Amino acid sequence: MTGTLGAGGAGVVYRAYDHQLRRTVALKVLRHAVGRDLYRFKREFRSLADIVHPNLVALHELYASSDEWFFAMEMVEGVSFIDWVRPSKEPLHGPRTRQDIISAPLDEDRLRKALPQLIDALVALHRVGKLHRDLKPSNVLVTPEGRVVLLDFGLVAGVAEDNHDGLAVGTPVYMSPEQAADQPLDTASDWYALGAMLYEALTGRRPFEGASEQVMRRKQTERPTPPEALMAGVAQDLALMAKSLLEPVPALRPDGLALLAQLGSAPSAATREIGRHRSRATFVGRARELDALRGAFRDSRRRGVSLFLHGPSGIGKSTLIDHFVKDLGEDAFILSGRCFERESVPFKMLDGVVDALTNALLAIDAEQLAAIISVDAPSLVRLFPVLRRVPPLAEVSGASTPANPQELRTRGFAALRHMLAKLSRVRQVVIVVDDVHWGDGDSSVFISELVSRPEPGILLLICHRPEDYLGIVAAIRRAAAPGVELRDVPLLPLDEQESRALVRELAPDDWFADNLLPAAGGNPLLLTELLRSADSAPSSVEALVAARAARVSADAQALLIVVSVAGRPISIEIATHAAAVLGGLDEANELYAERLISLRRVDGQLVLEPSHDYVRASVVLSLSPVAKAGWHEALALSYEAYEAADSQAVVEHWLAAGHPARAAQHAVSAAVAAETAMAFLRAVEMYQVAIEYGQWSGLELRDLVARRAHALMNAGQLDEAIDGYGRAARVVLDEQSIDLERRRVEQLLRRGRLVEALPAAEAVLAGVGLKMSLTRVQRSRLLPQWGGGNKARRLDFVQRDASMIPVLDLRRIDVLYSISSGLAFTDPSLGRAVQQELMRHALAAGEPVRVILALILEAGYQATTGTRAWPAVEQLAERIKQVATAIAEPHLLGIADCGLGVAAFLAGRWSQARMFLEAGIGTLRSYGNDVRWELDIAELYLLSSLLYLGQWREMARLQTLFVRDAGGRGDRASMGWLRSGRIANALVFQDKAAQAREELEVAESDTPRDAFVLAQVHNLIARCSLELQQGHADTAANLLDSSKAVLARAGATQVEVLRAELDILRARAELARPDRDERAARGFCDRLIKDTSPMAVAAGHALRGVLHASHDGASAAELELAERMFAEQAMEGWVHLCRLRRAQLQSGPLGLARVEAARDALRDLGAFSPDAIADWMLPMPRARR
């Protein structure tokens, strides 16, 4: 800031320099960001933020920082209206006195040139539905060139808007009689103020002098002394105009068009354009969408509803919402907010909603208002000071609030939710958040909470474009709890009938419809623009864009080309550099006024992009190939000139300019940046550009090919990554090739491609001097070693730094670890032998990181034998923690927690598994994709643990989050794992079995079939579960029986938890058969009871309890025993299933009450239909219920 320009009761205006825009601006700062002042301050900015007019001050951006609010606007160098038309003869050294003004001669020529401009500005303001309400000489500046600029919109309001403040606002000397009486206002009120200014310009005196109250009272009945009676020689036409404007009766005052006509003028081109753009909104069609909105409103009475209305720019989202809420009338409180492109304020998505909330609170009675205010209201007022407009909230605003920002936000949001919930009991509440694609992360926390836990009586409408620029919409959707319905209403293009109806409303001639409909493509905004421009010939989109572009300056046209060719949002600095335009803000505003570009601020930078895809396409289509290449080169050079520029953009523009070698120079840094942003597929593309077009040595090329393969792996493109590592290994043959082959083998094993993996693994082992046969024919020799030896092994070792150990020894350990870890989740019986070698070599070498990783794997292998292995696993866990803590490697502790969580799961310790896995995932999330494999495994086993624990709702919620996260990374492998196996059952609990079946089929199609690996075992379990759920018990039983031998050969039955799961599933299938063999069914139950797995034993008793369901007490006793056993294992789902079945065996009201209690408990756990889940998991003959 370089100086003070002025100050008023509410704010101070400073002169400041904007380094990004490279120009001086005026900065208006609010003195006290509270209540009514803050409300007006924000409205001042928003009233005209989107309007560009030469006689209205240009507003740049609204900011908020801590408790300070301010906005930047055009710096107008000029004098007040009166000082301009009655200039002083002598230099001024202070404020002018009234006598100075009276004695100064009127410059009638200046007045006649300035007056039409001021009238035109007011007409433009009125055409956007706004009143100024504080028109006075100091709010109108005139530049030395004679340009009139209307400013200070602090009291702007909508026509006939109730300001709820109960105060007459404005400046008494200039305000209209109706404004002084605090009556409803229309445009005539502003024309009265203009008359007062004109009267002062003609006479040097104000229409009424005296104390404010006296002036306001006299205006109600009196007319001022005629101007000609006070000043000789006053122009009669101007005097007559002043008198007509100062009529006490509003209806007798002339309007803006009449005034301009009297002065021999007409509305300017800018005002005419505003008039066309803001003319009566024409609404046609949209019956389906309106029905969806009305249905959502009806349903929200019983339960809160969240509806996402989405469609491209110009498709009519805001018009549809306006039409919908207008029809609601007094049936609802409408709390509407909009995310503005050119604002940097806290809680952007909620700001306008809370502003509207203050109006709703001021409209209800005191008793209702008192019930709405909660104990946390002070925190809410601290977050949103505008609430101090409401007197009871202003009273509590001084109460203490949490110092911790997170706690303050938590309590404030709780108070806001409470307030909205209570308000919805007075009248239904409709919350509209428009343009959410410009939203913010802080607001999304509250919106996500409202979406996740809908509040009865509240309809939340979220409107956005398909382009989720900041990921806000995706974040809100991800947060939705399982079972919560998110309604989607896509706004599609108008069909031909609807488009013709719109044309008939605006232009009755059929020629327009026949010629313009194809060009508009059903976009109502574009069709309207074509219609309004048809008188100047545009009959196509390209012609329309060209006509608009022709109306702006040459520099603005160059800027438009750059913004269009850029192909992405571009900062104003880079765009103006490429267009060779100095500054660029004026040119950007020209384009914005013609609706050719949009402007928004991102991370402090002003960013430009075409307002619509049709603009971009039309501009680019108009360029010749040579010209287009030239602009791409200009953009590439401009991006290169800025250190923090997007290197991927540089690559793309150099490629488009025909200079691939220069693109390759930036491709590596672009790939690294993409990897940092988790955009791995983009990184793959950039590495490919570098490989294909760059000049590299053999070693450099190998490094790039390997990095590309690593990016493919991180993207879950495992098959492609395998090929990439193989290619990298062949570029240069040396010791590094072995490491690349090791990575290839690791991915082959993780992918389950054992036929290729095992020979390759043997070759890599041989490369580091280890001879070990892993082919399938050796399994019989390896099986006797299963579970042997290592329980008694001492875990002591001599710790040594890696630099003290031969490189070959370290490489051997790495190879063994890759093979053992890969086999652990594909073929653990085969991996056991490799694990024994890994333990021997790792402990002998003593390098602590490798020892820890070996011990983590060992814990998992030990745990496969089940519950009896837990003491050994605990011993390993203690040793792992000791070593990891000693070397202070947090990420190793995270990997250890994940590994021990898997071990706990395999040992049947579900609660401990959840605890370990949640801790490990929490730690590893901050380490990104370097630990992606470990995170994938941990997420998979966490979901499985929640399944066994009966936490089905949480399982479904996390599965949705994990799948969306994997989708966001483009991680195909992770998405497959998270949708396959037993996790597919998450959808069954939500009554979405058909979707579960579809997802399982996708997972099965992506699972290699060259070996019976664990993924196929998990898919078999899921497939049989779904068959049971569909009532196909025979199919499930036959699938399990036919796979028995293969399962045994694969070693699946030697993993206790898998064996128990398979045996429970087989017993359930037998009991669910319509013509079941009672003896065989009992045999399956007895087998479970004799198992070593506590889960199997409990399930055996539960199934035996329903096998011969009776009222003699024996079945109930079995179920009660099973219930206790499941409770000991924290398996809540099975506990309540047993309670449900036991209650169904009990007659009378007590039995019915217990049935309902069990159903409610199952619903709380996430079972959408408790009885259907019980039929699936614990089948009992219906006749016995």
Say how far apart CA 1007 and CA 751 lie, in whole Å. Answer: 8
The backbone region for 59, taken as left when phi is positive above 0, alpha when psi lies in -120 to 50, beta otherwise, is beta
* Residue, of 440 and 455, whose pLDDT is higher: 455
CATH label, 646-733, candidates 2.40.50, 1.25.40, 1.10.1760, 1.20.1300: 1.25.40
Q: Residue 158 has which token pair?
A: 């909508």
Q: What is the number of H-type helices and E-type strands within the chain? A: 58, 19
| Model pLDDT for residues 610-644, shown as the tens digit of each residue | 887 778 888 999 999 999 999 999 999 999 998 66
DSSP string, 520-548: HTT-HHHHHHHHHHGGG---SHHHHHHHH
- Please report, as a single letter, which amino acid is at residue 374: S
Q: Residue 235 has which token pair?
A: 């122009």
Instruction: State the pLDDT at residue 915.
Output: 96
Instruction: State the pLDDT at residue 275.
Output: 60
| 30, HSE (Cβ side, Cα atoms, 13 Å) | 27
Three-state DSSP state, 120 = helix
| Model pLDDT for residues 505-547, shown as the tens digit of each residue | 666 556 556 666 766 777 777 777 776 665 555 557 787 788 8
Cα 348 to Cα 119, 186, 411: the distances in Å are 34, 30, 18
Instruction: State the pLDDT at residue 50.
Output: 65
| Model pLDDT for residues 233-263, shown as the tens digit of each residue | 899 999 999 999 999 999 999 999 999 999 9
Q: Residue 379 has which token pair?
A: 């925190």
Q: Is-contact 250 178, C-beta < 8 A?
A: yes
Residue 778 has pLDDT above 70, yes or no: no
Kindly report the number of other CB atoms within 10 A of residue 803's CB atom: 7
Strand order in 11-18's β-sheet? 3-7, 11-18, 23-30, 68-74, 59-65, 343-344
Mean pLDDT of 1150-1179: 91
Burial 357-381 (b: 16+ CB within 10 A, else e): bbbbbbeeeeeebeebbbebbbbbb
Could you tell me the pTM of the whole model? 0.63
Q: Residue 731 has which token pair?
A: 């570029």
For the CA atoms of 555, 556, 560, 566, what is the dihedral angle to 10 degrees?
Answer: 50
* Residue, of 1148 and 507, whose pLDDT is higher: 1148
Say how far apart CA 619 and CA 563 lie, in whole Å. Answer: 10
**For the packed helices 660-676 and 680-693, what is the interaxial angle rounded to 10 degrees?**
150
Q: Which CATH superfamily is domain 1-75 in?
A: Phosphorylase Kinase; domain 1 (3.30.200.20)
Q: Residue 443 has which token pair?
A: 């607001």
- Please report, as a single letter, which amino acid is at residue 971: D
Residue 1080 has pLDDT above 60, yes or no: yes
| Model pLDDT for residues 183-202, shown as the tens digit of each residue | 888 999 999 999 999 999 99
The backbone region for 401, taken as left when phi is positive above 0, alpha when psi lies in -120 to 50, beta otherwise, is beta
Listed range (321-330, 787-796, 980-989) with the worst mean pLDDT: 787-796
Say how far apart CA 426 and CA 369 lie, in whole Å. Answer: 10
Residue 574 has pLDDT above 60, yes or no: yes
Residue 791: band (very low, low, confident or very high) from pLDDT cuts 50, 70, 90: very low
Extended beta strands in 362-512, E state: 428-434, 458-464, 486-490
Strand partners, 25: 16, 74
Instruction: State the pLDDT at residue 476.
Output: 84
287-492 folds as Rossmann fold (3.40.50)
Residue 1022 has pLDDT above 50, yes or no: yes
| Model pLDDT for residues 59-106, shown as the tens digit of each residue | 767 767 666 777 677 888 899 999 999 998 776 666 788 888 888 999
Residue 556 has pLDDT above 90, yes or no: yes
- Alpha helix stretches (DSSP H) within 605-717: 613-621, 625-640, 647-656, 660-676, 680-693, 698-714
Say how far apart CA 247 and CA 192 lie, in whole Å. Answer: 8
Q: Which residues are catalytic?
A: 134
Mean pLDDT of 755-765: 92
Residue 583: band (very low, low, confident or very high) from pLDDT cuts 50, 70, 90: confident
Three-state secondary structure string covering 594-632: CCCEEEEEECCEEEEEECCHHHHHHHHHCCCHHHHHHHH
Token pair 């075409």 is at which residue?
610
| 425, HSE (Cβ side, Cα atoms, 13 Å) | 9
Instruction: State the pLDDT at residue 763.
Output: 93
Of 881, 944, 958, 939, the C-alpha closest to 909 is: 944
pLDDT above 70 coverage of the chain, percent: 86
State residue 344 phi and psi, 5-degree precision.
-125, 80
Instruction: State the pLDDT at residue 49.
Output: 64
Instruction: State the pLDDT at residue 46.
Output: 66
Instruction: State the pLDDT at residue 907.
Output: 93
Kindly report the number of other CB atoms within 10 A of residue 406's CB atom: 8
Of 43, 47, 37, 44, the C-alpha closest to 9 is: 37
* Residue, of 238 and 314, whose pLDDT is higher: 238
Three-state DSSP state, 570 = strand
Residue 168 has pLDDT above 60, yes or no: no
Mean pLDDT of 133-157: 83
Mean pLDDT of 545-574: 91
Work out the burial of residue 659: count CB atoms within 10 Å of its CB; fewer than 13 is exposed, 13-18 middle, 19 or more buried.
Answer: middle
Listed range (164-168, 286-290, 1092-1096) with the worst mean pLDDT: 164-168
Say how far apart CA 378 and CA 241 lie, in whole Å. Answer: 52
For the CA atoms of 247, 248, 251, 255, what is the dihedral angle to 10 degrees?
Answer: 40
Residue 225: band (very low, low, confident or very high) from pLDDT cuts 50, 70, 90: very high
State residue 775 phi and psi, 5-degree precision.
-65, 160
Instruction: State the pLDDT at residue 1013.
Output: 63
| Model pLDDT for residues 958-1002, shown as the tens digit of each residue | 887 787 677 656 666 677 677 677 677 777 887 777 777 877 777
Mean pLDDT of 16-27: 77
Residue 659: band (very low, low, confident or very high) from pLDDT cuts 50, 70, 90: very high
Say how far apart CA 211 and CA 1024 lie, in whole Å. Answer: 90
Q: Residue 864 has which token pair?
A: 């496969």
Instruction: State the pLDDT at residue 555.
Output: 95
Instruction: State the pLDDT at residue 471.
Output: 77
Say how far apart CA 536 and CA 548 lie, in whole Å. Answer: 11
CATH node for 76-277: 1.10.510.10
Mean pLDDT of 111-125: 94
Residue 781 has pLDDT above 50, yes or no: no
Average pLDDT over all residues of the chain? 84
Kindly report the number of other CB atoms within 10 A of residue 1160's CB atom: 12
Say how far apart CA 654 and CA 973 lie, in whole Å. Answer: 33
Instruction: State the pLDDT at residue 159.
Output: 47
Instruction: State the pLDDT at residue 789.
Output: 40
Euclidean distance between the first and the last CA atom of the chain, given in angstroms as a whole number: 80
The backbone region for 386, taken as left when phi is positive above 0, alpha when psi lies in -120 to 50, beta otherwise, is alpha
Residues 6 or more apart in contact with residue 327 via CB below 8 angstroms: none
Token pair 């055996």 is at which residue?
1100
Say how far apart CA 694 and CA 703 lie, in whole Å. Answer: 13
DSSP string, 238-292: HHHHHHHHT-SSGGGS--HHHHHHHTT----HHHHHHHHHTSPPP----HHHHHH
| Model pLDDT for residues 357-409, shown as the tens digit of each residue | 998 998 888 888 998 888 889 999 988 888 988 889 988 888 888 877 777 88
We find that the CATH architecture of domain 540-644 is Orthogonal Bundle (1.10)
Q: Is-contact 156 44, C-beta < 8 A?
A: yes
pLDDT above 90 coverage of the chain, percent: 42
The radius of gyration of the chain from alpha carbons, rounded to an integer in Å, stands at 37
Taken in order 355, 360, 361, 363, the sign of the CA dihedral is positive
| 852, HSE (Cβ side, Cα atoms, 13 Å) | 23
Residue 859 has pLDDT above 90, yes or no: yes
Q: Is-contact 821 756, C-beta < 8 A?
A: no
Of 630, 637, 704, 634, the C-alpha closest to 667 is: 704
Listed range (222-231, 325-334, 909-918, 1009-1018) with the worst mean pLDDT: 1009-1018
Q: Residue 679 has which token pair?
A: 């955009």
Residue 313: band (very low, low, confident or very high) from pLDDT cuts 50, 70, 90: confident
Say how far apart CA 565 and CA 734 lie, in whole Å. Answer: 46
Strand partners, 464: 310
Residue 552 has pLDDT above 50, yes or no: yes
Cα 1054 to Cα 568, 789, 865, 1049: the distances in Å are 56, 17, 7, 10
